[in-house]
Amino acid sequence: MPNLTRFVGGAQMFVKRDDCTGLGFGGNKVRQLEFYLGAASELKADTILITGAVQSNYVRVAAAAARKLGMDIHIQLEERVPRNDRAYRKSGNVLLDRILGATLHFYPQGDDEAGSDARLDAIAAKLQAKGRKTYVIYLGRKHPPLGALGYICAARELVDQASAIRLKVDEVVVGSGSGHTHAGLLFGLRALGCTSRVTGVCVRRTKREQSERIRDLCSRIAALLGVPPLVGARDICLIDEFVAPGYGRLNPPTVESIKLAARHEGLFLDPVYTGRVMAGVIRRARSLGRGMNLVFLHTGGGPGIFGYEPTLTSAMMGS
């Protein structure tokens, strides 16, 4: 990102375009779904169930992947963001969910992983009673972190790509929400002997809460793969200065980052994840200084921009 690097100063910034992973407008969840839907296919499932926020990128890509495999899809939308405007409720990812023919369910809580998973199980039970063979992609942490394996593979890809252009990567900055992308990438890099710092930008929880989550996920990845733990406490680096005022709610650094990425690199970022992460990228670039190389993992989320149209239009007016 040479233009943005010149504008910001500090470390040379690069971007890994995981918004271009292809299926259903792409994003990091495509890599994760390869493993979940691989398991579903092995079980000969015909119906996928998944839960997420109203403007969730994950559920949109899950719907696209399910349709690609000839499966039905049931989506549960959680009330994580206090908005009721038409754009948020009808446009963006919600519109794409409907175009994909997903059956939509609604869950009134926004921070109740156990409850939302239990509700998925209840929906699955009703479908099973009708003869459907279901596969549930759970949100809670007690289930095997299959999705994180997608980012162990991505770690290999990143290392190979950097090697091909003789780039020494000093730091990778990634969004840290559910934690599967962050933990999988960190675990994969350490498994390859790569010591690059991995900084997670918190999008939903505080640094303290998220650190425990990433540590737990890395332990469970090791157990799933049957290998020794590879990630220590000092490997887990997080910043949470851009979380407020809460998940899915804009703040000035996020708005500024969305604007800067678009106007300097023609790169679109969303207000929930990548806009916040770019704020962290800019902060880390300035902290690292010249002569260092920093990679921003762009996890997608473009359709969500349209779900936030009124807020973004207001934020961009006169800027």
CA distance linking residue 234 with residue 181, whole number of Å? 18
Residues 254, 312: contact at Cβ < 8 Å? no
Phi then psi for 236, rounded to 5 degrees?
-90, 105
Region 206-220: mean pLDDT is 97
pLDDT value of residue 140: 86
Q: Which fold is adopted by the domain 2-26+146-316? A: Rossmann fold (3.40.50)
Phi then psi for 235, rounded to 5 degrees?
-80, -20
2-26+146-316 and 29-137, same CATH topology: yes
- Angle, helices 274-288/252-265, rounded to nearest 10 degrees: 80
Residues 86, 113: contact at Cβ < 8 Å? no
pLDDT band with cut points at 50, 70 and 90 for residue 317: confident
CA distance linking residue 119 with residue 78, whole number of Å? 11
CA distance linking residue 83 with residue 308, whole number of Å? 10
pLDDT band with cut points at 50, 70 and 90 for residue 279: very high
CA distance linking residue 171 with residue 118, whole number of Å? 38
Q: What is the pLDDT of residues 186-195, one digit of tens each?
A: 999 999 999 9
pLDDT value of residue 220: 97
CA distance linking residue 239 with residue 280, whole number of Å? 7
Whole-model pTM? 0.96
Strand 293-298, strand 237-239: pairing: unpaired
- What mean pLDDT is reported for the chain? 96
Domain boundaries, the chain: 2-26+146-316, 29-137
Residues 299, 20: contact at Cβ < 8 Å? no
pLDDT value of residue 111: 86
Which residue in this structure is represented by tokens 């690292």? Answer: 288
pLDDT value of residue 292: 98
Examine the pLDDT at 318 and tell me if it is beyond 80: no
CA distance linking residue 260 with residue 177, whole number of Å? 23
pLDDT value of residue 125: 98
Here the tokens at position 33 are 């779904």
Q: Which fold is adopted by the domain 29-137? A: Rossmann fold (3.40.50)
Examine the pLDDT at 52 and tell me if it is beyond 90: yes
- Residue 208: partners with Cβ closer than 8 Å, 6 or more residues away: none
**AA letter at 290:** R
Residue numbers annotated as active site: 56
Examine the pLDDT at 270 and tell me if it is beyond 90: yes
**How far is C-alpha 25 from the geometric centre of its chain's CA atoms?**
13
- Residue 296: partners with Cβ closer than 8 Å, 6 or more residues away: 1, 13, 14, 15, 16, 173, 277, 278, 281
- Angle, helices 29-42/149-164, rounded to nearest 10 degrees: 130
Q: What is the pLDDT of residues 115-165, one digit of tens each?
A: 999 999 999 999 999 999 999 999 988 899 999 999 999 999 999 999 999
Please give the share of the chain, as a percent, with pLDDT higher than 90.
Answer: 96
Region 259-275: mean pLDDT is 97
Residues 285, 170: contact at Cβ < 8 Å? no
